[in-house]
Amino acid sequence: MTPAPGPARSVLAEISGRAASTLTPEGRLADLGMDSLGRLTLAVLLEERTGRPLSDEALLKVRTVGDLERLLEPMRHPA
Statement: residue 3 has pLDDT above 80: no
Distance, first Cα to last Cα, the chain:
34
Q: What is the mean pLDDT of residues 28-49?
A: 93
More confident residue, 44 or 79: 44
Topology of the domain comprising 7-70:
1.10.1200
**pLDDT of 76:** 45
Backbone angles phi, psi at 64, to 5 degrees: -125, 170
Q: Could you tell me what percent of the chain has a pLDDT over 90?
A: 66
Number of Cβ within 10 Å of residue 22's Cβ equals 10
How long a stretch of residues is the chain?
Answer: 79
Residue 77 pLDDT > 50: no
Give the list of residues 6+ apart from residue 56 with CB closer than 8 angstroms, or none: 43
Per domain, the residue ranges of the chain are 7-70
Percent of the chain with pLDDT over 70: 89
